[in-house]
Structure 1
Amino acid sequence: MAQIAGPDRARGIEAVTLAEAAGSEQARTLTPALVEALWSSGLMQYMNPREAGGSEPAMAELIDTWLEMARQDGSFGWIGIANLPSACFAAAYMSEEGFAEVFTANDNRVTLGGQFFPNGMGQAVEGGYRVSGAWQFGSGTGHSEYVCAGFLPMDGEEMRMGDGGMPAMTVAVVPRSEVEFTDGWHVQGLKGTGSYNYELKDVFVPEHRTYPLLSRKPQRGGTLYNFGVMALTGAGHAAWALGVSRSAIDDVVALAKEKVRMGEESSVANKLTFQRDLAHHEAMWRAAYQLVQHSYTEKEQQLAAGAELTPAMRADMRIAATFATEASREIVQFAHLAAGTSAIREGSRLERSFRDMYTGTQHAFISEKTYTEAAKFMLGLIEDSPAL
């Protein structure tokens, strides 16, 4: 039987996504019905290595899958770039013992979410670490059985160092029952993502339930996992932004054919300024989409041929992701203004897309630092950057 492609899996549950969007916003986390739809469609484990029940998708398909999820609803799409990667990273990079405990013992039906930035400290002890810290914006933790938490390993009073003189940044995979949630998710947009704050207080995490944050050497799985956490996270942000902006264009086109604004004699669709701006922003979307697909699929081919992921390759992908996000923000602003009062009414996807986009673009991962670090590399001012 032919494997169902990721975008088709997403389209197969669109009715559930749209029906549950308001409920997820009200609950501030995905509704149980939508979480179950993610599992029944195969999306929740789709990005995993095959040993963890996944599909190990090609990069082009993965980008289109994330895009389709975000086109349906911003919060649903954000869960796609939070829970799916969180599970795939743990499944690909953890040791055999950790994989067996988290995935095999749960028949691969396990959801992970959280924050990977090393906001915690882990004191090395026999068999693992005693981890303490506080993390914000733990996307997808509202329905996750395991929570990921980035930390810095400590050997006594000394911070453990990794390659290139950088701290050995590490990710802990912690059962939900050992995590103290402090919530804090009262926000403008992406309300349905359950991106809660949480803390660990001297929690023992065995070595086998940790993995290096910047690893690009998977314990299982193929080429996809040679990208590593940073590059795959960038691809997710790009695809999410493109999905939300795609929905904004589609919705404003449908609206423009019917809407007659106060004082006008014909529909918005007949205004020359709208026609010009629509074509311009459609071209902007297509250019950003093609840039992202080209940047990532080109690197995928190189990795499949045995190449190592170089700083130049990483900079190229991060520039593409940040550009796609900034272009999408401009597109959504155009659609919001063109739609007039229709875009301010609760329940409208145009209204949600505006709030979601301006929330999502606040993420540090696609901030201007990406551009400046890439530019420093292009100018020969630096040889590498952890920001890339």
Structure 2
Amino acid sequence: MVYHALNALKQAQDQILLLAEQAEQDRMFPRDIVGIMEKTNAWRSIYPIEVGGECESPDELVEMWQQCAYIDGSFGWLAIAHVLAAAHCSVYLPNEGFEEVFSNKGQTLIAGQYQPNGRGYVEEAGYRLTGRWSFGSGIHLAEWVVAGFIQVDNASVIKTDTGEPEVMIAVIPIEEVEIFGDWQTTGLKGTGSINYSVNDIFVPHDRCFKFDSGEAKRGSSLYRMGILPLSALSHGCWALGMTNRVLTELKQLGKKIVRANEKLPLASKDGFKEDWARIKARALASEALLVSAARLAKDHLQTHSTLTEVLVEKVRLAATFANEMCAEAGEIAYKNLGASAISERNNIERVLRDIQTGRQHMMISPQSYIDVTTLNFARTDQGETRNG
């Protein structure tokens, strides 16, 4: 059960934090983290069952992802990157590709980017692929790499029925990938989200799948919600974990910090207490929305092959709301802590930097609100009810 892996993860927290300190300096986690994850089974426990996972409950999935982020922002980001890539590959790869990629029967680590920055030139049994991608979080730990690309056949881009280029995902052995150590950011320093490229390599059809296919080959309903909804959910869980970490740090610092020209610690002030409780309420609301959206998606997919537009919106809204609440928690922390919030001697300094970096991700950006509003207004114009 995921419960056992979650307990093992919590017991390994001190080890993970030591590696996180090194990751801040090296701009990537040491390989020792792989062994710790194998021992705790934390990441693999929330892989699909077909590749060794144990998770059937949305509640467990949300709890594990948010707990990883709570321990450390960069570590939580790697949990997103590796679990998502493994989940998508295990659900959507053709059978032969699935058997090849997951042949080690252990904790297969996959990383990479789905943005279609590559060009795959059609050949008889696959594609001749060239491209360069950014934000390859955790790629230095991976055995396989995912990469988005557009298909080109006889100099023409292959398009969908709507006229858009059809995006494909290639799964490539790490040995065929060149990586570039150029991850320089103010936050999430330890993710190693570096660039990578391939040049004129062959990728067989069996190691490719459509980005928008919705044609799940395997996997429980929890993992068949689609690439974008599951990705959004994971990033919302990360934001939730970071919000809960802010609460912990504020509670500890509030008892000992006395602001300039004041006599009593922050924790004695009603304004501080009010702000702390406000963050707590927002964390609870974020968790409730995330779990509810994930449950609705899972239940729907037990009898349907894809999510409805309305259910996708619920997941995106829940994830974006969690990110917004996380960002606001960070602002409240800055307001209350003053210079203590930017002092490296305090753990919250890194937490707040990580929040400001993570909130920029497209999966949980305000653009989600704009997209949902646009779709809802279009449905209303067509005479649909407010519940869609």
How big is the alpha-carbon RMSD for the aligned residues of Structure 1 and Structure 2? 1.8
- 2:89 is the alignment partner of 1:90: yes
1:58-99 Cα deviation digits (max 9, x unpaired): 222101100001001000100111011111211121111111
Structure 1: segments with no counterpart, 5+ residues: 384-388
What corresponds to 2:219 in structure 1?
221
CA spacing shift, 1:168–1:128, aligned 2, 3 Å? same
The TM-score, its normalising length taken from structure 2, stands at 0.93
How far the C-alpha of 1:282 sits from its partner, in A, is 1.6
CA distance in 2, matches of 1:298, 1:71: 25
What corresponds to 1:386 in structure 2?
none
What corresponds to 1:12 in structure 2?
11
CA spacing shift, 1:7–1:165, aligned 2, 3 Å? farther
CA distance in 1, matches of 2:12, 2:56: 19
CA distance in 1, matches of 2:152, 2:223: 27
SS of residue paired to 1:135? strand
- 2:103 is the alignment partner of 1:100: no
What corresponds to 1:246 in structure 2?
244
CA spacing shift, 1:108–1:300, aligned 2, 3 Å? same
Counterpart AA for 1:202: D
SS of residue paired to 1:379? helix
What corresponds to 2:386 in structure 1?
none
The farther-off stretch of 186-195 and 14-23 is 14-23
CA distance in 1, matches of 2:305, 2:154: 38
The question of whether the paired residues in 2 share the 8 Å contact of 1:336 and 1:350 is answered with no
Counterpart AA for 1:32: R
CA spacing shift, 1:331–1:180, aligned 2, 3 Å? same
The farther-off stretch of 279-288 and 81-90 is 279-288
What corresponds to 1:270 in structure 2?
268
- 2:73 is the alignment partner of 1:74: yes
The farther-off stretch of 233-242 and 25-34 is 25-34
1:341-364 Cα deviation digits (max 9, x unpaired): 332222532011111011011112
CA spacing shift, 1:4–1:133, aligned 2, 3 Å? same
The question of whether the paired residues in 2 share the 8 Å contact of 1:56 and 1:221 is answered with no
What corresponds to 1:292 in structure 2?
290
1:216-253 Cα deviation digits (max 9, x unpaired): 33222211222111111000110001101110111111
The question of whether the paired residues in 2 share the 8 Å contact of 1:218 and 1:225 is answered with no
- 2:43 is the alignment partner of 1:28: no
CA distance in 1, matches of 2:327, 2:19: 25
The question of whether the paired residues in 2 share the 8 Å contact of 1:85 and 1:233 is answered with yes
CA distance in 2, matches of 1:348, 1:85: 31
The TM-score, its normalising length taken from structure 1, stands at 0.93
CA distance in 2, matches of 1:347, 1:110: 36
SS of residue paired to 1:192? coil
CA spacing shift, 1:262–1:370, aligned 2, 3 Å? same
SS of residue paired to 2:378? coil
What corresponds to 1:357 in structure 2?
355
How far the C-alpha of 1:368 sits from its partner, in A, is 2.1
